[in-house]
Every structure is written in structure tokens, then in C-alpha cells.
Structure 1
């Protein structure tokens, strides 16, 4: 298929739309990079939401991006909700102008605020649409647009509960696969990079690209468990928003805790970790599968349809991770991680089972489908 695509469509035009969080943006960039690798002549443009992370990360990755005036719809009466109809109308109009000007051969939706208006307009204009659904429970936008998509790439099995079975492709979620190469050989480099001890077990704590209040607060309360554990050290990514506040805590002052606002070298963090604590967003879970390390998942309750809990259960049902409810994080998060560290056989089993769930070459499979649609 790839060979025919390269022969017939040398310069396809492709729009990738969506964002709002790193969990949407980084897979989208991975797809774009793979499209460009398979078809160097492809012209790729992004459509995102103004003021969101994609407006910074996408240009840094080397792609142009247009922004829509759009935001999420909250399930309560707020000024933002009252503005939503106006924002939606504005975004539909802007998306129509972008698509008419750029004239893409395919539009790819990766979820997030901007994805809905862009895919809706593309479908109305007769432009082939591909949806990439990262979660085990799809968001309302993708469920509404599924009937208009040509293909739907998913990361979990049994998604025909929500999507037409004949459109589904089980591809997995795109991750930066290169960062997981030779992790075991990177441990020494990681210890130096983070200034941590080679003789201690390491817990890596992070709350996604933006940080997570609950996880950070649980770390503030962790002194009672960590103060007497001279055999344990912690690498703690707070998120830039929380860093100044969190570094004032007693836990951050412990000799075995290294606190950072953001970690660019995630490969080294994964290489160093003996146990990982994080949220249960789609990108986080996909990367944890590739890392093959035991994980304690603390799903965020502040997401649509509680999809992070459903993501986490997809792992815990297979005994591939441990889940701690958000409301129980202060009391149970660190004890759960220490219990794993203190049980090497349990840690080994969790690492093996989560690694078995990884899906290789997801970006390559999705890119091939995008280019195949461009050929039609």
C-alpha cells in the first residue's frame, strides 16, 4: 500500500486537527513526522485551539498551525458555557476558511477542542476524514463524528461498542518510540543527569505535561512514608504551574527527592524508574507500556466521561498496573508504590504485563492509512 501511495500522491495536503493537552498534541506530531517520513513531499498543516499547548509545541516541531477560538463545554452553568455557541459558530467559519484555502486531501482528528469544528466542516465539504481515538472510552466529539469518518484508528480493543466495526483499525497510540530504545543502558547517564544515587530504588512521579494538583498534594503529604526510607529516592515532575509552591514542601527538602518543573529527557526518567506514578491519560499509558515498568495510576476525575478511570481499568483488569482513586491519593499513592518496591516479584510481573500491551509502529500504521485516503 505504501509504495502505491508514494507513486500516485507525491504531494498530498493533510490537515491534522486537535490538541488541548500533550496527550493529544504529541501523538499528532508523531503522526505528522511519520507521514513526512513515508511521503517527503506531503504538505502538513495543523489546526488547534488558541491559547492551548499545541500553539507552542507544533511550530517547535516544524509545522504551521492555525488557531480556532474554541474551548470545552463544561457540565454546569458558566460564562464559558454561555459563550460556547458563539465560539462554535466562529470556529466552524474559521475552519471552513482554512479548509477552502488549503484544500487538503485528508483531515485527521486527534481529539481535543479544535478537532470537532474542523472535522465537521471537512465532512460537509466531502474531504476524507480519519479519526484517531486515544482512549478506551471515546469522547463525545469523536462519537458524534464517527459516522462521517472513513477510518477510525483506535488504541484499545472492543471499540465497536461506540464506532462502526467496519471503520475501526486497531493501531495503538503513537508514541516517541525512539526514547524507549536501550533504556537499560541509559541508567548510568540518567543517574548523572538527575544527580541521584545509584544505590537506591527510584520512584518517578509525574502528572502529565501540565502537572496534576492531586498527585503533587499527595507528594507533599509523602514525608511520613519517605523520611525513613533511605533506600528510596524520588524524581518528581510537578509541572511548571505548581513548581514554586511544591518545592517549599518538606518532602521536596528530603535528601532523596529531586524535584523538577518539567522533564525534557523522559527517556532518562523512564530508564531510572523502578516504579512510576502518573495519571491515566492515553499518552501516559501508551508510554508506560513501552517503558515496561510497574505503575501506580491515579486517574484524573476532571475529564470527560471519566475516561482516565476507564483507561486505567483496561490495565488493572489485566493485572498490568495498580490504580489509586484520586480521592485516596494522599493516603494510598506512595504506600502503593513502596509496596511494589518491596516486592520484587510483584514489580517484575507488573512490568512484564504492561509491556505486553504495547503496540509497535502505531504512527506508521496511521500514517499509511492517511496517505491511502489521500490517494482515493
Structure 2
């Protein structure tokens, strides 16, 4: 195949994976770009029952086929042993269902973005000889992607030097992670963005993100130091705390006018546009957005993720001066003081923003769909 010229029109595509926003949002971005290029393309998602994709994918306008797959317990000893039986049973059922669905739909290509449902679907595609393209978001590859990538045509990565995780894959392409197109179109520091949150353009804005589900450590650390943030006259805060955390936190911060607590931020383009500093977990999707937009950040990697991949993600930015990292175990004492110190030194924020921007790949979604077209069957 001539990779410089070959490009297939897409009319039937499966995108598989999910579990968290870190997998779902990239998958939807890829689907949107395919639909932009080929409005008549039939795009089908495959996800896991009971996971976030079951609601978010249909809400975005795409059909989804759900598998009864689940993850294996991360605990040790008897807990992990007893989880093997339902895990194996559901994996068998999921693989069989995936094979039936893939055989019936007969896609030109199957795209895997990671998550519980990705492995059975990509294994089914390999069984029928259908081309597979894998999108790996993290700097430390997940187990599912390492398994299915052995027979994939291509792995699209967000970080360089990923060959060590995929030694058998013919093509490793540095594309970056997909980000929402609206983020790139919003004017920085626009009055409309400030108006969305009823904030003042004359104050600095701290944006606190805990991922789509909220982050307990970040929420607890912010709450414990809320007075330091609330009584700083030149500062205002947008705090995304997660749906499950909102009720308890709202009662404790409602009297602070400068603290704008939200369960979920739907207008992320406007939130990023007015942020002077971001506090966040170190999920791959968020990091890709921060670098594409050139935003300074303090990253608090979650310790409860596979292969500690968030620490690897964060370290890749820290090594290049594009972020600071506060370990989860030290967030209670260090997070807010570090943020206030940075906001008091705008030149440090500016240097970090420049370094982050240099790492950004804002056209990642287009690059990934280019690869999907190259490897899809006619």
C-alpha cells in the first residue's frame, strides 16, 4: 500500500471501547471527523454494559451495541481469584456476541480506543480478517491494547517512543490524542466565555477538574484549603467536582461567591478559554487538551489506574517544563499552596504554557482518521 496516496472512502466503521471519558471522548471525536468527511458513513459503537458509554454515545447521536464484559479485579489473593469465574464467563459471552455483530455488520475497519469492550471486538475483527486500527491514549500502554495490537495494522499513539509496547505491530504512528474540535475554535479570554460562568475578566481564573466522574482526593484537598482560595480578592474558581460529590460539597461552599462549584462542565471550551491555571488528574484526554491549547497545569495523577499510567503521562509533561506534578498522597498539603504560588508568578505560568503548546498536536483527530482510511477495506 502506498501510504502517501492510498485513501479509502468510508461507509461502514465500528469503533469499540469506553469505560471512562478518557476513552469515550476520543472515540466520539474520531466518529465526528469520519462523519464530517463521509456524512453517509454508518458508524457503530461497541461498548460495555453499565459503563458510561451506554448513555454518552447515544446522546452524541451514534448507535451502540453493548457487551456483558467486565474488568478483572485489581485486588490480590482470593478477591482476584473469585473474580476470575465471572470475568471468564462474561469474556466468552462478549467475544461470541462481538463475533456475531462484526460478522453481521461487516465493517471496512474496526477502531479500538481501549476499555473493557475493545478487546473482544478487535479479537472478532482479527478472526474475520477485518483491518484493525488501535488508538493508544497513554504514554504507558494498557493491557488490552497491547494484546489486540499484535494483529493490528496500525497503532496511533499520543507519545513518541511507543514501539516497546507494540513490537509486533507493523506501523506505529505518532498522531496525538483526539480532542473536541470546539475547544480549538473558542477565542481565548472572550467575554462570552466569562459570561457563561458569570465571572469577571478582571480576575485570575483557576480551573479545577477531577475528570468526568470527579476525583475524591482533589475535592478533599480543595475543600480543606477553601478559605485560602475564597478570600484571595484577585481570584475566582471554577470547580468541576463530579455528580456524586456535588451535593455534599455544595452545602459547604455555597457562601463563597468566588467559588463556582459544578457537578459537570458541558461548556469546556469556555472553561479552558478563561483558565489561567488548571488543576487536574493526568488522564490522556485532558493532557492532550491542555497541550493543544497551551495551558499551564498542576497534575495530580490518580493512583487507582492500570499500570500507574497517569503518573507516566504527567511525568512526560513535567520533564519538558509543561506542567507541575503533585502526588496524590501529598495533595492535601501541597496542592493549593502550589497553585497559589504559580498564580502569583505569571511569568512561570507563561513559560509553562509555551512549553505545553510545543507538545500539542491539535490536528490529532484528522491524523487518526487519515490512518483509518489508509487501512480500511474498499
TM-score (norm 1): 0.94
User: What does residue 281 of structure 2 align with?
Assistant: 279
1:158-202 deviation line (CA, Å, top 9, x unaligned): 00111137410110001013322243252x222222122332211
Is contact 2:293–2:360 with CA below 8 Å preserved after alignment? no
Equivalent residue in structure 2 for 1:111, among 110, 114, 119: 114
Instruction: Name the structure 2 match of 1:347.
Output: 349
* Counterpart Cα distance in 2 of 1:3 and 1:30: 24
**What SS does structure 2 have at the residue aligned with 1:67?**
strand
* Alignment partner, residue 292 of structure 1: 294
Aligned partners of 2:289, 2:84: CA distance in 1, in Å? 34
Q: Give me the whole-angstrom Cα distance separating, in 2, the residues matched to 1:272 and 1:184.
A: 7
Give the gaps of 5 or more residues in structure 2: none
Please state how far the C-alpha of 1:12 moved relative to its aligned partner: 3.0
Describe the superposition over 1:256-302 as per-residue Cα deviations: whole angstroms up to 9, x where unpaired: 10111111110111111111001100100011112212101011011
**Cα distance per residue 1:324-353 (max 9 Å; x no partner):** 001111111111111110011101001111
Match of 1:35 in 2: 34
Instruction: Note the residue ranges of structure 1 that are not aligned, 5 or more in a row.
Output: none
TM score, norm. by length of structure 2 = 0.94
SS in 2 for 1:375: coil
Residue 223 of structure 1 deviates from its aligned partner by: 2.3
C-alpha displacement of 1:3: 7.8
The Cα of 1:144 is off from its aligned counterpart by 1.4
* 3-state DSSP of counterpart to 1:195: coil
What are the superposed Cα offsets for residues 348-373 of structure 1, whole Å, 9 maximum, x if unpaired? 00111111111132111111221222
Number of residues paired by the alignment? 371
Asked if structure 2 preserves the Cα contact closer than 8 Å seen for 1:12 and 1:374, the reply is no
Cα distance, 1:215–1:84 mapped onto 2, change above 3 Å = same
Matching residue of 1:268: 270
Residues 131 and 377 of structure 2 are in contact (CA less than 8 Å); yes or no, is this contact kept in structure 1?
A: no
User: How do 1:20-59 and structure 2 match up within 5 A?
Assistant: 20-59=19-58
Q: Which moved more, 1:87-96 or 1:173-182?
A: 173-182
1:170 aligns with 2:208: no
How many angstroms apart in 2 are the aligned matches of 1:123 and 1:284? 31
1:69-96 deviation per Cα after TM superposition (whole angstroms, max 9, x unaligned) = 1121122215544411111111111101
Separation (CA, whole Å) in 2 of partners of 1:354 and 1:18: 28
Shift in Å, 1:216? 0.8
Deviation at 1:2, TM superposition (A): 9.2
